Structure 1
């Protein structure tokens, strides 16, 4: 594929850059189409990404929606058909600012003004549209053969919520129509698995803008799943010596100034609340509270390791364009814990955390994951707590422990927490990009900032080391992951409704009611379908819509014989048995998390 480089020459594009060039050129063509349709539009950033491309646009008081995408896409197709050549030129910064101001591109002018005074700005132009860009680009618009606009979202100018919210148009571009067709197939699969759609259909959770964007509410069936996850992980932790606590959802600004979060994280926190001359914020994480619990009493080396766990409610101000059901919200509940250890306990405690992660993954059948040692970027003087000696020690210690434990891992610069390196376990879901599910972070920083101490064997005071760890991550996000992996067909121990009793007719309703009561007294999550519908409809509804693991079918024969017929969702087979044996079978599955 031939491309136009920013020095004006045309050459072959390296294969690894082809998609990026296609997508970046598509962003320019999309901007040109938008400008033709909406002449008053102003453009901010419009890069290619690993997934496609987007452009952030200010269209004044107008609001675009997904319904507007076909018109923009049609105009893009028209521009492609015009086969406009891409041309490249360059200007000094002052001249470049003047050009953008003359064209009414206030965001581009501001962006150029942020660049060094001696910067030379390159521009690419196709037809009447001109845009600042480092390139390279296609040589002609007709070379863009396969693209699709996918969604409308929102984004703040310069990613700063104090700035104006812009409209973000998203799209994808590929080399061939076959690649686009495969993308669309995967998109349909993602739609079928989307936890937001399934959650609504199964009545698991809801959101409402009157409550607030990114603030999901769990309905009875969804909360039943949530409670099972909470009980499951708490029991695992109790068996390993964790002690569970409950701490407030708010803290003073001073608490986060002490921890360092105020300097490194306040842009992601909700605004300050002032009450009786005190300043409070909704907490974005729980470690400062747990530091204070440790500091509440004196500790000896004999007390360590001290493992404090909490299913904690946290709040983060995520941009509205990034919100996604219960996968990413402004309120969520972390499966959080902090382990206070001596330096010589680090290896064993990290090992126990790693074992717990893999034990949980085995229970849930999670096999597609990879481990990452996340390190700081030493050049980033803003994101990370500045203590080179501490960082060198912490990163070397965690690397050595993981190596000794035989954990296979890669290393990624710039992904550490602001206070220390971490092990991230990234899962690959059935659809979409991988993301971090579990983490274990090594922290020498916060114990120092909170002046935490323990009395060592020799009577001297030492500072403990803290392991921050989350196994399920947030229960909300983990539940979203499970919904999309299973398409809502939870295993019996997690299912919001484990059994549905389906009477064939009114004649078997009395016996069906007795079976329902027996199952309920056995502490199973059961529903009785008393609707005056045909049994085939009831079975399809229970299996396909409610995704119930077991359907107990009660007809005249079952009523007369005092038995039940059980239809298994997994096999779609029906077998007759005694109620007592069925109850024991289900209980065994629940006990084994099968």
Structure 2
């Protein structure tokens, strides 16, 4: 009888797995192994995901895949995408299929249709999907040949193209999700089989899928949008329908609530409502301007992080916005990063580029004179304004721009100093994020993809040493460490700090990168203790990442209600009547003398409207004055949550604000 090795995560010991061996009959399928575990919807066999209909063979190492795991959610959502595509072709028989992968929190499918979808169409599609799900159609995998697939899918031009890409070895680069549809190796088609045993619908796909459509517990369609085939604006524009699917109705409802909350917190809307920044068409896409109130927040951020860098041993430097193109060849960014840079332009017989990164210029500062080991670690820092050519389709408010300022630093160290410097930088980063109210993190380790050596420079031994150093420092923090194979920069591996905001969304914030390649390219050297010339290691680090993006994240994290130390207006003075305005202006003068940002509303509006206006502007504190306050030399002190203390002496009111600002309290 075949022996199967079942691998499971240990319930009490995180990160550990237990293996048990069991005997099964010949012809046993994976679903029979997990028949008493309804949450299991697929299996990982020998490291590869398989349908539960997979036939087990002797020696298989099998791991159950639960519907609420990362892989399980992808399988659920990809199966929902197939059901959606089936429903679309039932209702719109002329629709041609593009691709339909799972994505973060959902799925999509692209269609070539004559008329764009409207909300009423989505409602009909969703109704048809529910009928398909209720029918309990079985997802059935079959292996086919290229020739048979081409014949079967002759009416699907985009699938035909994907089969051709498979033959050319380019399927993985075809588009987001294209490899999900085709994959490497054998070609497979999935049939949706009804209860009569008839094929109701088919799609080219590598799988795996749920056992039946009934295993889709909760889903909804979200919206439709235009999307270029394979993400290339030179190709035809298709219609993309987005949806989401979850293991339970409760989880779906929670997700929809998070979406509503995210819309309420959208930094683009709040930036307009709070008069923080704007994105004028006259300047260009992805190039924001900061208004006075936004400028206050930006300045506070810059002042804070500049001071912190100096406290952490960094020297402040400055570099220009443009450079001769040759500099970026020396650094290695060209050609590796050419698509992310603005085109070259001629000047005085030379080709120049807007800089997309600061590190090449910092290398020139290091190289400007001889260096001794006694100077190391040498830490350089600047607010370097850089420009990156982002495609117009991905530009998004402040979080994806074309021009931004980096709080960029580079540490030059001996190889022996590298682990300590990386720990120093990681501690610095985490403390900085906590000061801004972000305290829920995990780390991501981005490494080289050895299957694509042309995308990386340097030998494998150097990469292995650098990766080992980063992995150890990251592990020693005690934070969760998630692998990101293939995500490294071309010149070395990196640690990314992933921070969760107030509603649980994850944002990539700071990065720390180990670079042994640029020092070689720039021939950087220092004199060692024995008099020899040695090459330093370069550690890149951006704490905010970019000030613009970090500010956008903070706006959404706080829903615009910044803590007092960051708030553009910290105190709003509200006069109950015109005769109380002078009293409040005197209070405001005293507050300004203590460094408090204060405004006085002496308009003709009624007091309740003035309070409402201050609330809409997310002002942390209000000081209100009426006859009794003027007579007593006091104010009524009102907090953002509506709590109010009456008859507070002026000096005490001022001190309350000063203390809140100094403590960085999240009032």
Would the TM-score normalized by the shorter structure come out above 0.5? Answer: yes
Tell me by how many angstroms 1:298 deviates: 2.8
How many angstroms does 1:267 deviate by? 2.9
SS of the residue corresponding to residue 524 of structure 2 reads: coil
Aligned residue in 2 for 1:28: 82
- Residue 495 of structure 1 and its aligned partner are, at CA, apart by 0.3
Distance 1:497 1:3, change over 3 A: closer
**Contact map agreement 1:153 1:321 (CA 8 A) in 2:** no
**CA–CA distance in structure 2, aligned partners of residues 40 and 250 of structure 1:** 52
Where do 5+ consecutive residues of structure 2 fail to align?
Answer: 1-37, 44-48, 56-63, 169-183, 193-198
- The answer to which of 217-226 and 363-372 deviates more is 363-372
Structure 1, 160-169 or 349-358: larger mean CA deviation: 160-169
585 and 142 in structure 1: CA distance in 2 versus 1, 3 angstrom threshold: closer
8 Å contact 2:50–2:208 — kept in the other structure? no
Is the Cα contact below 8 Å between 1:52 and 1:170 reproduced in 2?
A: yes
Unaligned ranges ≥5, structure 1: none
Q: How does 1:153-552 map to 2 (within 5 A)?
A: 156-160=228-232, 163=235, 166-209=238-281, 211-275=283-347, 277-400=349-472, 408=479, 410=481, 412=483, 413-543=485-615, 545-552=616-623
Once the two structures are superposed, residues 285-335 of structure 1 have per-residue CA deviations (whole angstroms, 9 ceiling, x without a partner) of 221222222223332333332211112223333444544322233333222
Query: Which residue in the other structure is 2:638 paired with?
Result: 567
Which digits, 9 at most, give the CA deviation of each residue in 1:371-405, with x for residues without a partner? 344332333313322411221232233345556x6
> What is the aligned partner in structure 2 of residue 115 from structure 1?
166
Q: CA deviation at 1:119?
A: 5.5
**2:3 aligned residue:** none
Counterparts in 2 of 1:311 and 1:555: CA distance versus 1, 3 Å: same
How much is the aligned-residue C-alpha RMSD, in angstroms? 3.4
Q: Counterpart of 1:56?
A: 110
Do the aligned partners of residues 71 and 382 (structure 1) sit closer, same or farther apart at CA in structure 2, a change above 3 Å counting?
Answer: farther
Shift of 1:65: 7.2
Alignment of 1:106 onto 2:157: yes
Find the aligned partners of 1:389 and 1:141 in 2 and give their Cα distance: 48
Change (3 A) 1:349 1:570: farther
Q: Structure 1: how far apart are the matches of 2:442 and 2:262?
A: 22
Partner in structure 2 of residue 124 of structure 1: 190
2:52–2:211 CA contact under 8 A, matched in 1: no
Post-superposition Cα deviations, 1:66-107, rounded to whole Å, max 9, x if no partner, equal 78644543454465567766565543213323443x31x332
Q: Structure 1 490/248 Cα, relative in aligned 2: closer, same or farther at 3 Å?
A: same
Report the alpha carbon displacement of residue 548 of structure 1 after superposing the two structures with TM. 0.7
CA distance in 1, matches of 2:118, 2:350: 42
**Which of 96, 121, 137 is the matching residue for 2:149?**
96
Contact 2:575 2:626 in 1 (8 A): yes
Deviates more, 1:433-442 or 1:153-162: 153-162
Call closer, same or farther: CA 1:41–1:208 in 2, change over 3 Å.
farther
The 8 Å contact of residues 97 and 113 in structure 1, kept in 2 or not, is answered as no
Answer with 228-237 or 62-71: which moved more.
Answer: 62-71
Question: How far off is 1:482 after superposition?
Answer: 2.1
The Cα shift of 1:499 comes to 0.8
Equivalent residue number for residue 593 of structure 1? 664
Matches of 1:74 and 1:212, distance apart in 2: 42
TM-score, structure 1 normalization: 0.88
For 1:65 and 1:325, the matched residues in 2 are separated by 26
Question: Deviation of residue 7 (structure 1)?
Answer: 11
Q: What's the offset of the Cα at 1:237?
A: 0.8
Q: 1:274 to 1:163 in 2, by over 3 A?
A: farther
Distance 1:406 1:121, change over 3 A: closer
Q: Can you list the C-alpha shifts for 1:449-472, whole angstroms capped at 9, x where unaligned? A: 111122233333221211111222
Q: Alpha carbons of 1:456 and 1:86: their partners in 2 closer, same or farther (altered >3 Å)?
A: closer
Asked whether the 8 Å contact 2:258–2:503 carries over to 1, the reply is yes
Structure 1 residue 39 displacement after superposition? 5.7
